[in-house]
Chains A and B, each alone.
Chain A
């Protein structure tokens, strides 16, 4: 079969953004949802190929994946609660760093996403702004707060545990 120009463009885009998009989804979704979310995301990119920014397409694609992921997670949560017909949303797999994951859980969803985009996707504020549809200035301010809050949350329990004489397992945060 001869590939059309559109197919060639899509294939190039998919190979460019596919691996980071997969990591983006894996970081946020239960394993049972990953394939579906990726499939939905690629379908949107395929259909909206002409809308994908030629320059720096990845943040825009993250935004698409984020929407598909939100839909899938809402669907899975609702269906689990009401019909009990889908697999659970949360993974039972133990996180590597319990203290960190506990601290992340205490952030708001917005704060958590800012921190993830910064640390895991390694985006700059202006790129995070594209993903979230807010201004870069707002991202900078909120990200700064979120990082500080996360660091305090990680450090906080250690102080309590230290006061109670419990064992300390995690490395200390620089001050």
Chain B
């Protein structure tokens, strides 16, 4: 990987100067950083890394419950942080049809196939509405905020397994204006984040 011998004087000068300014020269990680990282990585997926994440039905129902608001929301603390003003917003609904469906495995391909995908932080949680401050649009949008509302108010009764909590980070996929369930959407965690990173490598 070294072509120094083929460089002209000017190129060699430039490369030397860049190397002298290499930020990695100041990096002094702990001796065990790589072993720790390898161990952490493999413990995150203790079985075959190729295995599919099977999403329990409860997770599918959870999204509905979250957008439906009321009792499912964990209302944290009277935070006085103002809602962002003059920001653009994408409205998404949380679909309510066929919640008894069996979910397919979550893969990078299934995430990539979504019309919209983003990661963001729940910054406003009120009854029947969650506002997500978008940290990053992977696909299909460029607004600052995403508002989640239930497609069917009757779905309030569906109590799910997750809550949208102010300050928590989420990964969200959507199609046809509806949040995708079945594990494509969920609380930010390394395994799901890695699938999103794999789906949208840059």
Query: Residues on A close to B: CB < 8 A?
Result: 6-7, 10-11, 14-15, 18-19, 22-23, 26-27, 38-40, 42-50, 63-64, 66-68, 70-71, 74-76, 78-79, 82-83, 85, 95-97, 100-101, 115-116, 118-124, 127, 147, 150-151, 154, 171, 173-175
29 residue pairs from A and B, CB less than 8 Å apart:
A10-B38, A10-B42, A10-B49, A11-B42, A18-B37, A22-B29, A39-B41, A39-B190, A40-B190, A40-B197, A42-B41, A43-B194, A43-B197, A47-B45, A64-B201, A68-B197, A71-B119, A71-B200, A79-B121, A82-B84, A83-B123, A96-B20, A121-B1, A124-B1, A124-B3, A147-B11, A173-B10, A173-B13, A174-B13
Within 8 A of A (CB), among B176-202: 190-191, 193-198, 200-202
Closest Cβ neighbor of B107 among chain A residues: A47
Question: Is B22 a contact of A79 with CB atoms below 8 Å?
Answer: no
Tally of chain B residues near chain A (CB < 8 A): 54
Query: Residues on B close to A: CB < 8 A?
Result: 1-3, 9-11, 13-15, 17-24, 27, 29, 33-34, 37-38, 40-42, 44-45, 48-50, 84, 87, 119, 121, 123, 133-136, 138, 144, 167, 190-191, 193-198, 200-202
- Closest CB-CB distance, B120 to chain A, in whole Å? 8
With most chain A CB atoms within 10 A of its CB, the pick from B9, B20, B33, B41 is: B41
Residues in A neighbouring B201, C-beta threshold 8 A: 63-64, 66-68
